[in-house]
Amino acid sequence: MVGAPLVRTLVCGGAARFLGKGKGKDMRREVGAWQALSLLLAAGVAACGGGAGDAPESGGRVPRVQEASGRASWIGPLRWAHPLTGPDDNTGNIVSDRDGGFLAMVNFTGSIDLGEGPLLAPGGPASAAMALARYDVHGHLKWAKVFGAQPGTVGTAFGIRHTVDRQRDIILFLEVGGVDFGSGELPFGEYLMKLDSKGRLRWAHRIDTSKGFPGVSRIVTDRDNNISLGGVLSGTVDFGRGPVSSRQLPEGGQTSSAFLSKFSPTGANLWTFVDAEHQSQGFGAAVDTEGNLLLCGTVFTGIQTEPFVLMLSPEGDMRWVRRLEGALGFAFGVATHGNRVVIVGTFAETFTFAGRAHTAVPNGGIEQDAFVAAFTRQGEERWAWNFGFSVEDVAMDEKDGVVISGSYEAGSGDLGVLGPLPGNPETLANVYVAKFDRVHGEPLWSRGFSASGPDTGSPGLENASIAVTKEGQSFVLGQFTSTLTVGSEAWEAEGRSDLFLFGFDR
């Protein structure tokens, strides 16, 4: 079914001043459809003004990093950290494995060291591949599997998003062609796939993208192991119950619309919500204990792009929609636990939340702040902060913690609730991780890591993702270029970019 509209249409007018990054380059995939998303976003602002086997288990090598000096109440309890290195551009995401550890999905070229020495792409040093890697709470690599085209063949396996359900099965959305996941080489296309807890194929369903493109930015599963994909739809896509389309332009053609599509545990499509009334993009998704689904992103209101979050019932009916009115920006992530729904993103200009005004100030010459904002499950405003420059992800644990990660300008007076953090004032890619209390938004700790060299591509952190345990430990996987200083160590990227992996106690 096609869902109800997100917001009412406003008259076009005004000039957009937002110069911060969008999310089309989230994994820097060299595919035209991804590039088209960024172009759609820019155009929208302008138009309105505005192989399989378990690796042996091992204790692994996990360099421990001491906490930096500073106010104890502000310094996060970093317990371990290590880089994941390779000779080219490396990207990845992590999720909880529901057994107290986490599962990473990494895209790489040639080789990647995930903590136990280099893993090779099956097709050779110039071949791209995808790896799944499970770690325990101490950062020890437990097993890893690599998927890619065989030597002398043409193929691809690019992981877009993944998650782990309550049965510990692994759900993937990926781009595949000419690669065998266990049932023979798959023809080129976009696939929703389920593997067991050891990475063995259960099923794979191809999505019909012959007339459109689904930019999947998040996968979530509910208590019954139903699967939901959230993101941005461009054109017409068939997820399994017939074609659904993004917003039609008055002069003809189609633009982008936020969507959520729900599937059964066996991969049967149950329903799809599309914001077909508006030009919008979905960036984050979550599910609560009752099976209600949350989607956040940005909507083009006719005046500017505003962050939004909405809740759908388990059947796909709209429960509520909220926007940060007055903010020019994006909501990139959403998390929920108990009676809180927390969104994070970036903005320019000013919005008012729970009776308090939040105004972005320039960072590195760009009018942009990060924000974190908490609602109740009924959509009532509770607390918010703005600070720094960017935020990439948010996660909530069962001990009332809210963990976020992003980037900042060192020495800026805009660090706000993050407190004083070390860093390089010549870049916006210094990395922070911070934790807040879920109920009242009280800051619990923050931690900063200095980056070196000028920004490459869009300013700020390229990407980061967060996984948490029930007990409140958190893990952050992110991308860095040039050098990242972690404690007394300076990590230098081996290729165009490498990954950092951090583990924090409560």
One-letter amino acid of 308:
F
End-to-end CA distance of the chain, in Å?
42
Gyration radius of the chain over CA positions: 21
Burial 434-456 (b: 16+ CB within 10 A, else e): bbbbbeebebbbbbbbbbbbebe
Under DSSP, is residue 413 helix (H, G, I), strand (E, B) or coil? coil
pLDDT value of position 302: 83
pTM above 0.95, yes or no: no
Domain segments of the chain as ranges: 32-504
One-letter amino acid of 188:
F
Element (H, E) at 285: strand 280-287
Compute the distance between CA of residue 120 and CA of residue 129 in angstroms, rounded to an integer: 9
Residues pairing with 227 in the sheet: 221, 263
CB count, 10 Å around CB of 376?
12
pLDDT value of position 23: 39
pLDDT value of position 253: 82
Average pLDDT by stretches of 10, the chain with 506 residues: 32 31 36 32 33 35 32 63 95 94 97 96 96 97 97 94 98 97 96 97 98 98 98 98 93 92 99 95 98 98 94 98 98 98 98 98 94 99 97 97 97 92 93 97 96 73 94 96 94 94 95
Compute the distance between CA of residue 281 and CA of residue 258 in angstroms, rounded to an integer: 4
Considering the domain 32-504, what is its CATH architecture?
A: 6 Propeller (2.120)
Evaluate whether 243 touches 211 at the Cβ level (below 8 Å).
yes
